[in-house]
Structure 1
Amino acid sequence: MSTTVENRPEQNQYVLVEDGSTIGLAAYDVVGDEIRFTHTEIEPARRGAGLGAQLVQGALDDVRSETSLRVVPMCPFVVDWVDEHVDYQELLTR
């Protein structure tokens, strides 16, 4: 199975896609020079397999490489993920 993270700016979300089906999302709002991650979810039957972490990492990698936006984690999952991954904390102070 192949999974990818895609940005869908028209829907204000990054999605985790597996073999053509969306199995998770990370919703965001862009406000000024900030991208505020407000909600993250994975299909209930797929939770616990590390897919949320894959989604958040992919989204933050895209923010890092494609924008100069400062990340504001509002979703508890994103807050915890960034806390545990110090190499992504610079995105909070851009």
Structure 2
Amino acid sequence: VILRGTYSAVCAPTGTAFFDTTGNTGLQTQGASNVLAGVIAGLLGQGYQSITAAVLGLHLVGLSAELYAGRYSERSLTATSLIDLLGEAYHQLEAK
């Protein structure tokens, strides 16, 4: 289960919860949840375990929103903007 909010959470069936603080109010835009679902589905297709795909997907989409807000206003964030920045967000994670 994914609970999106100021502090988003991914809750596993075992009762374990993972929290993520990335993102901003721009993620309330229409289509952001669809982008998140698509990212998670793509990660599952690459062979990630479901909990890992959910945690990583949530973080990538949140990081994409933060990258956008660093350049523009988060109020103008669109689902397409999130998609456009996913590669950069993934690259930032790989660099760490």
Question: Would the TM-score normalized by the shorter structure come out above 0.5?
Answer: no
Give the structure with the larger strand fraction.
Answer: 1
TM-score, normalisation: structure 1: 0.31
- Which one has more relative contact order, counting CA pairs under 8 Å at least 6 apart? 2
TM-score by length of 2: 0.30
